[in-house]
Chains A and B, each alone.
Chain A
Amino acid sequence: MSTATADEAFIHPALFYRSEAEYTDRTAAFVREGLAAGEPVAVAVPGPNLELVRAGLGTDARDVTFLDMTEAGRNPGRIIPGVLRAFADAHPRVRVRIVGEPVWAGRSAAEYPACAQHEALINAAFAGRRATILCPYDETRLAADVLADALVTHPTVITEGSERVSEGYDWPAVVARYNEPLGGAPDAVVLAFGPGELPEARRFAVGVAASLGLSGRRLQDAELAVAELTTNSVVHGGGSGTVAVWAEAGQVVCEVRDAGRLTDPLAGRRPPEHGQIGGRGLLLVHYVADLVRVHTTDEGTAVRFYLGV
């Protein structure tokens, strides 16, 4: 099914599908092609589609790693480190093959920009790595601009069984386009913090988050995430910042703003070296949050994370 040459290191086609039968046939064929070549194969797609792939594979499914993308990839920002690189790094000496479906019809308007940036950044994260990642897109249920973005974030696209080069492929453009100002939050409670006030900033955020209904492990995760973001502000973001907390559609949202600029588009998306001490802060935020949105310019950076109550 794939027309890309196998000696190309990274292969990243989008698969536009129009029916369950087509989805089942094409993903199963893609998986079997990998199994026949001796490649480790993972399938990370939303739950109902997992069942389609399993059914299509029959007994071949036993050799495949399955992950429900609505859980493993709920936050699109953790799919590269937590799903794709995690699987690839577990098989360092061979080419790996993954079906990854990060965009589905139920993604919210707040989530979609992070999904598009994730799809774009896969190209940077896997440049030169031996991997084939097929990204299915539901042509019948996804919006036209989502499908248009998929042509920009994937070097090739498969439609009706034939693969063609995507003329508009230009992934950095999608990273830049969705680096959008994050809308205001009229109900936000805001605190400014300086270099010596990290504990105060953290306690403030935890207090507001708890009053908005966050509790247990999710509240502890909010505390950790705020600590990491405010620490980044103090160390890399000009030494001070603001932390804001509010509720939005059943989630608690925390946002840290400072005067720094995030210049590394893969910050927070690289699995850390085992013995590395620093550099895990943004990764932690991606791991624990349901969604992370970032807006970064020369004027400053806002990082916003969402946790379901």
Chain B
Amino acid sequence: MDGTGASGGPARTGGGVLLDVGPLSGRPGIRASGEINVSTRLSWKNALTELSRQHTDVSYVELSAVRFVDVAGVAALAVTAMNLPVGRVVVERPPPQLPRVLDLFWPSLHRIEVAPR
């Protein structure tokens, strides 16, 4: 169902909603726009894998243009952060579902810091 593979870029779902995800410029991490759901899951996971590969101390995940993220999308981010050997992930301006799901399932996950919208 995913429109693209490991290279990132836009993934189209049947309803025309995209997930566009790629590296941040000037600092470590990724930025995304669109929707993180079952249709765009592979792009999201690939981007997170790339993030953990490049990670040294602090990585950023810029989500101000993400309209919605589902539970498995938050879970993929949480598991990525938990598996980092050092440092942390700063999630910038996520949609409201992200802090809600983190709070429900990973209430004391210190490797993720959320900078709200």
Contact = CB atoms under 8 A, between A and B. Distances in A.
Interface of A: 194-200, 202, 217, 220-221, 223-224, 227-228, 231, 234-235, 272, 274-278, 280-281, 284, 287-288
B105 A198 contact: no
A202 B105 contact: no
Contacts of A198: 13, 15, 37-39
16 contacts: A195-B14, A196-B14, A196-B39, A198-B38, A198-B39, A199-B37, A223-B68, A223-B97, A275-B82, A275-B83, A278-B72, A280-B75, A280-B105, A284-B101, A284-B104, A287-B104
Contact of B70 (A196, A200, A224): A224
A221 B104 CA distance: 11
Given A195-B14, A197-B15, A272-B105, A221 B72 contact: no
Interface in B58-100: 67-68, 70-72, 75-76, 79, 82-83, 96-97, 100
Nearest to B96: A220
A280 B70 CA distance: 10
Nearest to A227: B70
Q: Interface range on chain B: under 10, 10 to 19, 20 to 34, or 35 or more?
A: 20 to 34
| Best-surrounded residue of B15, B37, B75, B83 (most CB of chain A within 10 A) | B15
B79 A277 contact: yes
B67 to A, nearest CB: 8
A280 B37 contact: no
A124 B34 CA distance: 41
A288 B100 CA distance: 10
Contacts of A231: 37-38, 70, 72
A277 B97 CA distance: 16
Nearest to A206: B68
A224 B101 contact: yes
A280 B105 CA distance: 9
B35 interface: yes
Contacts, number: 73
Interface of A is mostly: helix
A274 B78 CA distance: 9
- Most central of A194, A234, A284 by chain B CB within 10 Å: A284
B39 to A, nearest CB: 7
Nearest to A288: B104
Contacts of A199: 13, 15, 17, 35, 37, 67-68
B114 interface: no
A235 B70 CA distance: 14
B1 A195 contact: yes
Contact of B14 (A197, A223, A235, A280): A197
B14 A227 contact: no
Most buried by A among B72, B82, B101: B72
Nearest to A279: B72
A142 B70 CA distance: 40
Interface in B98-117: 100-101, 104-106
Among A194, A278, A288: residue with most chain B CB under 10 A: A278
Contacts of A272: 105
B68 A227 contact: yes
B72 A277 contact: yes
B75 A220 contact: no
A230 to B, nearest CB: 9
Given A198-B38, A284-B71, A224 B14 contact: no
Contacts of B1: 195
A67 to B, nearest CB: 16
A234 B75 contact: no
